[in-house]
Amino acid sequence: MLEAKGTQSRNYARRQIQSGCGQVSTVRLGQMPNSTTVLRVVVATELQREGQKHNSRILVGDPKERKSSYDYDFQRPPAFLSERANLARLCYLVGTFILERSSTL
């Protein structure tokens, strides 16, 4: 499970990591085999322009699942949904909007 955030403001990425960890920690994937390992990762980028005083930074968080979690159930197999989402992003990137529309659920 991945939550990605970004900013150009100095030190705001720290708050984004905390917020993202709160979001990711409350999700539990339902209907998954018991052998499934769920990784929770939050990434925040703090981009600085060339010539600015500070360097760009990447912050990473790996929160644990909280007890107040709710189930997120897939309507189709997760591998199928990931493939379709990646195809839709690729179609958008190369400008094939017709294929993108037919690829989304």
How confident is the model at residue 102, as a pLDDT?
Answer: 53
Sequence-ordered alpha helix ranges (H) in the chain:
12-25, 78-94, 97-103
How confident is the model at residue 98, as a pLDDT?
Answer: 58
Element (H, E) at 71: strand 70-72
How confident is the model at residue 100, as a pLDDT?
Answer: 46
- Each residue's pLDDT, cut to its tens digit, for the chain (105 residues) gives 778 888 888 889 999 999 999 888 888 777 777 787 888 999 999 988 888 888 889 999 999 888 766 677 777 777 787 788 878 777 777 776 555 455 444
Distance between CA atoms of 40 and 78, rounded to whole angstroms?
16
How confident is the model at residue 69, as a pLDDT?
Answer: 62
Amino acid 41 reads V
